[in-house]
Amino acid sequence: MKLLNLDNIKLRYKMMIIYICCVLLPIVFTNIVFYVVTTNNVKNQRLKELTRALEQIKKEFQMEIDDAVKVSLVFYTDYILNEILEREYQTQLDYITAYDSYLRKILNSYIPSYTFMQNIKIYLDNPTLLFAGGIGYLSDEIRNSDWYQALRAAEKKGSSVVLTRTKREDSYRHDEEVRDTFVIVRRMNYFNLFGEGKWEKIIKIELRTRAIEQVFSNLNINGHIYLLNELDQIQYTTDPSVNWQAESIYFDQLHFPRNSIKLVATYSGNRYLNNWKLVSIIPEDEVLTEVRKSRQFIIWMVIINLFYSTAIIFWITNSMNVRLINILHHMEKAKKQQFVPIEGPEARDEIGELQSEFNRMILQIKSLINDVYMADIRQKNLEIQHFKARLNALQSQINLHFLFNSLETIRMRSLMKNEVETARIIHNMAKLLRSSLTWDKGYITVKEELDFINCFLEVQKYRFGDRLNYHIDVDDAALNVPIPKMVFLPFVENASIHGIEPMKEGGKIDIAIKLHDNHLLFSVRDNGVGMSKEQVERIYGYLRQKEEMGERVGIHNVINRLKMLYEDKFQLLIDSKPGGGTLVQITIPVDVHSNLPINHP
């Protein structure tokens, strides 16, 4: 008996069979297998979360300590504070005045801003002070206190700041020895280095116990946290069974269940917390909360599920695989431009429809190659020709009006003065006219462009006489660099006609052409009447406008040509103000190796 033919069954029904037989049913039997894998993943993930939580506690506790140390540094380096504390007062009124003027404000200003600090007090042995309101007397009793002795021990090790645990300030009135708060202690001897201090001064910043409890009460850690100093003595813990406030207990004296998980975060590189550590003891049941199932049973279920699902998937995919491979084989032929239709009977399922659509596509591609593709090539050629035509049309518009104006000027002056130099000027004008009317080549060298500029300036010098002087500075390396024809001359013309011509005397034009960092830099500066901000913005506006053929000449024409030739690779800079002259700078990219401008066709 033949197997059921699946070729005519819709693909969605095939997918339904795959889902029920190869996904839903196997999942029911293989959940335990997945549970084993996910249990390990959950355990590892939970350990990572606990480690991050412990690192967060470590970071927050250090931030609070760091902020307290920064506050102590402010007191340590405050010159006014130290000067008031060092002064010897003749009367109590003098001290009260000094206290109200500065000490009261600075001693009370940090507590509201830093909620983890509950008390700031300065101890010193200056007998002329009143010891109240944050100022305490540095008596022998204070010198024998645990926090003072801790500071002495830290100073012997080279540290100027110490973090230690001691009794709260208000607990000194009781006999109970409870060291339940942390303090930052620092000797205020900064100005002693300059010979300005004679009293011993100690600042003690007391941290708020409630704030420390909030730092260590991380809800992500369902275990006990222990803060240990460099000797592994417990300085703080969330374990209620440890009396850390009144006893000096070492961590190794504690006993924990054998299956407990221990996480450690160590402080390193910190002057006052160096080699301190945070230790978290977490019960294993907090990480693994479910009981593992029988491994032998799971192994048998895995074998059954693998065999069952493999048989079903093979049966279903066999109907699709052969035909899909055949379609892929013909698609590979199509990639190699072998457009061969798929032969064979057409089926009624989705793969059969795909085969029919593929055959239709192959026939359409053959038709499109001859029709659309060839038409597109012709269209591209037309666009290229259109671009060249637009470029030639723009070039043909290049600012010829100044030539005719100049010729008219020469003619009038010749009639009035009958000068011999008229022939030379006419020769220059002829060169300009001939160049502007001849566009058989779109690119010329900088040297050729300079010839046109010299001809033009000679004409203008003839017109203006002593009213115009000019200077040209050109790098020798730039002389043979090709550039678009007449892109510099219109800016020189603009400087002469619009900048110098309105002036009665003293006109000057400076031209510079440099080759620098694969760019050709052209600049023309005049000391003429300048331009208004609106005129400058109008010229910059040419850069943003779309290219137009039109009847525009002069600067607009040059900018259009530069945009067409270089797109956004050229730069135009204009610096001008009324009465202050004008500077125009053009930067064109140049390939120094081939000595050609970038985007050269």
Compute the average pLDDT of residues 21-46: 69
Compute the average pLDDT of residues 71-82: 89
Looking at every residue in the chain, the average pLDDT score rounds to: 78
- Residue where the block lists tokens 């050629």: 381
Helix (H) or strand (E) holding 36: helix 25-77
pLDDT, position 290: 45
Confidence of residue 175 (pLDDT cuts 50, 70, 90): very low
Q: Is 118 helix (H, G, I), strand (E, B) or coil?
A: strand
The 10s digit of each residue's pLDDT in 521-567 is: 999 999 988 998 898 888 888 887 765 544 445 788 888 888 888 88
Q: Is residue 416 part of a domain?
A: yes
Q: Is residue 2 part of a domain?
A: no
User: Is the pLDDT assigned to residue 476 strictly greater than 80?
Assistant: yes
Q: Is residue 513 part of a domain?
A: yes
Task: Out of 222-236, 382-396, 581-595, give the one with best mean pLDDT.
Answer: 222-236
Q: Which of 56-60, 91-95, 195-199, 319-323 shows the lowest mean pLDDT across its residues?
A: 319-323
Q: Are residues 203 and 232 in the same domain?
A: no
Compute the average pLDDT of residues 227-256: 87
pLDDT, position 431: 62
Q: Residues with Cβ < 8 Å from 131, sequence gap 6 or more? A: 137
pLDDT, position 427: 62
Confidence of residue 355 (pLDDT cuts 50, 70, 90): confident
Residue type, 284: E
Q: Is residue 372 part of a domain?
A: no
Q: Which of 193, 208, 223 is the last residue before a domain boundary? A: 208
Q: Are residues 423 and 515 in the same domain?
A: yes
Q: Which of 7-16, 257-266, 269-278 shows the lowest mean pLDDT across its residues?
A: 7-16
Helices and strands (DSSP H and E) totals, the chain: 18, 17
| Domain count of the fold of the chain | 4
Q: Which of 160, 190, 208 is the last residue before a domain boundary? A: 208
User: Is the pLDDT assigned to residue 202 strictly greater than 90?
Assistant: yes
Task: Out of 10-14, 141-145, 319-323, give the one with best mean pLDDT.
Answer: 141-145
Q: Residues with Cβ < 8 Å from 506, sequence gap 6 or more? A: 467, 527
The 10s digit of each residue's pLDDT in 390-435 is: 555 455 444 455 555 666 666 666 666 666 566 567 666 656 665 6
Q: Residues with Cβ < 8 Å from 189, sequence gap 6 or more? A: 197, 201
Q: Are residues 469 and 586 in the same domain?
A: yes
User: Is the pLDDT assigned to residue 229 strictly greater than 80?
Assistant: yes
Compute the average pLDDT of residues 367-385: 67
User: Is the pLDDT assigned to residue 157 strictly greater than 90?
Assistant: no
pLDDT, position 552: 47
Q: Is residue 385 part of a domain?
A: no
Q: Are residues 234 and 331 in the same domain?
A: no
Tell me which of 23 and 554 has the higher pLDDT.
554
Tell me which of 220 and 522 has the higher pLDDT.
522
Compute the average pLDDT of residues 136-149: 91
Q: Are residues 88 and 197 in the same domain?
A: yes
The 10s digit of each residue's pLDDT in 429-459 is: 656 665 655 555 678 889 988 988 888 888 8
Domain containing 282 equals 212-287
Give percent of the chain with pLDDT exceeding 70.
73
In the sheet where 135-137 sits, what is the strand order?
Answer: 135-137, 117-124, 201-207, 181-187, 161-166
Confidence of residue 509 (pLDDT cuts 50, 70, 90): very high
Q: Are residues 220 and 193 in the same domain?
A: no
Q: Is 184 helix (H, G, I), strand (E, B) or coil?
A: strand
Q: Are residues 338 and 268 in the same domain?
A: no
Q: Which of 208, 224, 249 is the last residue before a domain boundary? A: 208
Q: Is residue 389 part of a domain?
A: no
Q: 371, 398 in Cβ contact below 8 A?
A: no
Q: Are residues 319 and 403 in the same domain?
A: no
User: Is the pLDDT assigned to residue 291 strictly greater than 50?
Assistant: no
Q: Are residues 321 and 444 in the same domain?
A: no
Q: What is the DSSP letter of 384?
A: H
Q: Is residue 259 part of a domain?
A: yes
pLDDT, position 548: 52
Q: Are residues 179 and 328 in the same domain?
A: no
Q: Are residues 157 and 265 in the same domain?
A: no
Confidence of residue 149 (pLDDT cuts 50, 70, 90): very high
Q: Is residue 58 part of a domain?
A: no
Phi/psi of residue 114, each to 5°?
-115, 100
**d(C-alpha 265, C-alpha 227), whole Å:** 10
User: Is the pLDDT assigned to residue 199 strictly greater than 50?
Assistant: yes
Task: Out of 47-56, 95-104, 336-345, 355-364, give the one with best mean pLDDT.
Answer: 95-104
pLDDT, position 389: 46
pLDDT, position 26: 73
CATH code of the domain in which 573 resides: 3.30.565.10
Confidence of residue 350 (pLDDT cuts 50, 70, 90): confident
pLDDT, position 575: 92
Q: Are residues 149 and 89 in the same domain?
A: yes
Counting Cβ atoms within 10 Å, is residue 468 exposed (0-12), middle (13-18) or buried (19+)?
Answer: buried
**d(C-alpha 254, C-alpha 229), whole Å:** 16
**d(C-alpha 346, C-alpha 105), whole Å:** 94
Task: Out of 172-181, 290-299, 549-558, 564-573, give the one with best mean pLDDT.
Answer: 564-573
Confidence of residue 292 (pLDDT cuts 50, 70, 90): very low
Q: Which of 21-25, 243-247, 292-296, 360-364 shows the lowest mean pLDDT across its residues?
A: 292-296
